[in-house]
Amino acid sequence: MKLICPLCQAPLNTTANGLACPANHSFDRARQGYFNLLPVQHKKSRDPGDNATMVEARRRFLDGGHYRPLAARLARLAADRDPARWLDIGCGEGYYTGQLAEALPEADGYALDISREAVKRACRRAPHLNWLVASMARVPLEDGSCDLLASVFSPLDWQEALRLLAPGGGLLRMGPTRSHLLELREKLYDEVRDYDDEKHLAQVPVGMHLAHSETLEYRLQLDAAEARADLLAMTPHGWRANAERRAAVIAAPFEVTVSIRYDWIEKL
């Protein structure tokens, strides 16, 4: 895959310190190993994306193995597609990216997130991948350069996905169903909002179609207070619910439903 300049879309070439395009836009390689391809004029805040506290909470929770079956299934579905080139778009702190890298050892792998704090930590999981701080709405890769896009609990720019995919390639989307963490939501809110598991399919652009869908569901016992606190911190519920409800969730063990939908959406 070929990286392109986020400012002028010209090809980026390797230099002694990082990357540069023919127009002399240059981007240094961070000591952790990633490239920051998010120019200041493309930022909506000084330090966009998840902060260090949220990233660390997610790292602890995921490394605790609570979502290991989800990552294993994602990796298996990706391996079944056998892509030569793949991108994890919205990789966070890299837990799922690392699983993808293990399942696709011969493929050319890239991962990006808008959060610098997340990518700094993600680099450690698979140093051989190409790690980027970049916008999901302006991915610095050439048109048609990806055989597989992975989107895990992440917002998505569908037109950008269509641009990035090669013909016959596809988007492997992983997202919650209406049952996901239902017991947690019932503890936090007086009224739990229902939503349509297939709502996202209405956004699939012309030129792509749903080729496969499946759901993985299991019960998860949360015995450790740290795990309950981390789960709160890594979801929007950590700041939406009031402090009293959050404290009650952390105070006592409970069981939640984990329910995730996987969609393979192909480019025609």
198 annotated as ligand-binding: no
42 annotated as ligand-binding: no
- List, for residues 29-46, the tens digit of each pLDDT value: 999 999 999 987 544 545
- List, for residues 197-244, the tens digit of each pLDDT value: 899 999 999 999 999 999 999 999 999 999 999 999 888 777 788 889
91 annotated as ligand-binding: no
C-alpha 17/C-alpha 27 separation (Å) is 8
C-alpha 127/C-alpha 173 separation (Å) is 24
pLDDT at 240: 80
66 annotated as ligand-binding: no
C-alpha 266/C-alpha 1 separation (Å) is 19
Which segment of 41-50, 58-67, 94-103, 204-213 scores lowest on mean pLDDT? Answer: 41-50
For the chain, strand residue ranges (E) read: 13-14, 18-20, 26-28, 35-36, 85-89, 108-113, 130-133, 146-152, 165-176, 208-222, 254-267
Domain map of the chain by residue range?
A: 13-267
- List, for residues 103-156, the tens digit of each pLDDT value: 999 999 999 999 998 999 999 999 999 999 999 889 999 999 999 999 999 989
Q: Residue 195: pLDDT band by 50, 70, 90 thresholds?
A: confident
Please give the average per-residue pLDDT across 177-189, as a whole number.
94
Q: How many CB atoms lie within 10 A of CB 117?
A: 19
Q: Does domain 13-267 have CATH number 3.40.50.150?
A: yes
Q: Residue 51: pLDDT band by 50, 70, 90 thresholds?
A: confident
94 annotated as ligand-binding: yes
Residue 110, by phi and psi: left (phi above 0), alpha (psi -120 to 50) or beta? beta
67 annotated as ligand-binding: yes
